[in-house]
Amino acid sequence: MNGEETQRATIDDLVFDVPALVEYCSTFTILEPGDVIITGTTGGVGAYRKPPLWLKPGDVVEVEVTGVGLLRNFVAQEGASVS
C-alpha cells in the first residue's frame, strides 16, 4: 500500500490450488483474459492492525503474483467517476 508491503503470503497458503479455483469459477462464468479471481486475504488486514489501517482516496494498492504480474489500483473517492 503506497509502496510499503503490508501483507505477504504464498500460493501454498490457499485452501484450494489455482487450477481448482479456475475450474470452479468456470462452472458459473466464462473466464476471459484479465479476469481476477478474488480468494480472500492473509493476516494483517486493516481492522486488526494496531492502529487500524484503512484505505483512503488517493492510496495506491499493488498486488503481485510472482511469475504472473502486478495489479495496481488507485483508491477513488466514493461516488467519483472512474475513467
Q: What is the tens place of the pLDDT at every residue in 27-55?
A: 999 999 888 888 887 777 788 888 999 99
CA angle 38, 47, 41 (to 5 degrees): 20
Q: What is the tens place of the pLDDT at every residue in 58-82?
A: 999 998 887 888 999 999 988 777 6
Which pTM value belongs to this model?
A: 0.67
Measured distance CA(31)–CA(36) in Å, rounded: 9
Q: Would residue 1 count as lying in a domain? A: no
Q: Would residue 79 count as lying in a domain? A: no
Number of structural domains the chain divides into: 1
Q: Would residue 3 count as lying in a domain? A: no
Tell me the residue range of the domain where 22 lies. Answer: 11-74
Q: Would residue 27 count as lying in a domain? A: yes
Is omega for the bond preceding 51 within 30 degrees of 0, making it cis? yes
Q: What is the tens place of the pLDDT at every residue in 3-25?
A: 999 888 888 888 898 899 999 99
Q: Would residue 6 count as lying in a domain? A: no
Q: Would residue 82 count as lying in a domain? A: no
